[in-house]
Amino acid sequence: MVIALDKHTLESRQSVLYFAAMALAWLAAQVFSETDGWVSLINPALAIMLFVTFMQVLLVTLLDGLRNLRFIGALLTANFIGIPLLLLLTHQLLPDVPLAQFGILLVLLAPCIDYVVTFCHLGRGDAARLLACTPLLLAMQLLLLPLYRRCSLMPLIGAGLLQHIQSRFLIVQRIANAAGWLPVPATAVVIFLVVASVVPQLELAIGPVRQALLFAAVAAPCIGASTARLFGLNTASRRAVAFSCATRNSLVILPLALSIPGAMPVLPAILVA
């Protein structure tokens, strides 16, 4: 049976594509033990993923989205008050390893500002409003991660410029149309690169990774959903806040983690997981 390849097919089968990328990354890591090559490709791949993700929602809707103060309040409260309080109250449950503790704090205090928009859109959340709050989420993170301003902002600026001029130039329109196909493949490429770069030493960090997943995969999205309900948001907005809390900025801050002496394998393993 032949399956027609279109954007809808890519989106509906993205989980399969991501798992395939992880499997190929594991295989590549077994064949090629040297990881420096994979690591050097992460930042360019991230830039492409960010750009094509931002192209999916018209950036002219940013101002409209920022007018909803209730949504902004819920989003910032969940990410920058709720989750830090969770970490403060459960600090004793964190691994008794300073590097592992730092990894959990690093990933949970950095809400995602890129592929979460695509995931929120696919989950029928308010992706446009979430994208509108991306500059606010990014500004908060800049206080913690000032070295990654250019990495995070340039794709957003590029997407905005392209959308602004695409009606004037046919070639730009074609580029914009082509970008609509790329969020899922671009995310798969990034997943492949980051998994391939750390999987050779992943087994050494299984303990801290399990404890990190308890916070990132269970507690954080519950905080987002609960906070959104307290603010009286509608269903789509509640989903957007929950997605924001459940999806962290692990891929963007991975290069920072890799630059810390002695980080391998615990710190990158936590972020990748």
Q: What are the structural domain ranges in the chain?
A: 36-272
pLDDT band for position 2 (50/70/90)? very low
Of residues 256 and 122, more confidence is placed in: 122
Contact 83, 223 (CB under 8 A): yes
The residue among 27, 111, 38 whose CA lies nearest residue 264 is 38
pLDDT for res 233? 94
Element (H, E) at 149: helix 149-165
CA angle, corner 172, sides to 166 and 178, nearest 5? 110
Q: Which amino acid is at 187?
A: T
CA–CA separation, 122 vs 72, rounded Å?
21
Q: Average model confidence (pLDDT) for the chain?
A: 78
Of residues 143 and 184, more confidence is placed in: 184
Q: At what angle do helices 220-230 and 235-246 cross, to 10 degrees?
A: 150
Contact 204, 265 (CB under 8 A): yes
CA angle, corner 245, sides to 233 and 72, nearest 5? 45
Half-sphere CA count of 41, side-chain side, radius 13 A: 14
pLDDT band for position 240 (50/70/90)? very high
CA–CA separation, 262 vs 112, rounded Å?
25
pLDDT for res 5? 67
Of residues 224 and 261, more confidence is placed in: 224
pLDDT for res 85? 86
The token duo for 175 is 């580029």
Q: What is the pLDDT of residues 170-197, one digit of tens each?
A: 887 887 777 777 878 888 888 888 778 7
For the residues 213-237, what does the mean pLDDT come to? 87
pLDDT band for position 160 (50/70/90)? confident
pLDDT for res 1? 43
pLDDT band for position 78 (50/70/90)? very high
Q: What is the pLDDT of residues 32-43, one digit of tens each?
A: 877 777 877 877
pLDDT band for position 153 (50/70/90)? low
What secondary structure does DSSP assign to 80-124, as a single string? IIIHHHHHHHTGGGS-S-HHHHHHHHHHHTSB-SSHHHHHHHHTT
Total length of the chain: 273
CA–CA separation, 36 vs 84, rounded Å?
34
Within the chain, how many helices (H) and strands (E) appear? Answer: 18, 0
CA–CA separation, 137 vs 163, rounded Å?
22
pLDDT for res 231? 94
How far is residue 142 CA from its own chain's centroid? 16
Sign of CA dihedral 22, 24, 25, 29: positive
Of all residues in the chain, the percent with pLDDT exceeding 70 is 80
Whether 210 has a pLDDT exceeding 90, the answer reads no
Its CATH class, for the domain covering 36-272, is: mainly alpha
Whether 227 has a pLDDT exceeding 90, the answer reads yes
CA–CA separation, 47 vs 153, rounded Å?
10
Element (H, E) at 59: none
pLDDT for res 149? 43
Q: Which residue has the tokens 């008794």?
A: 96
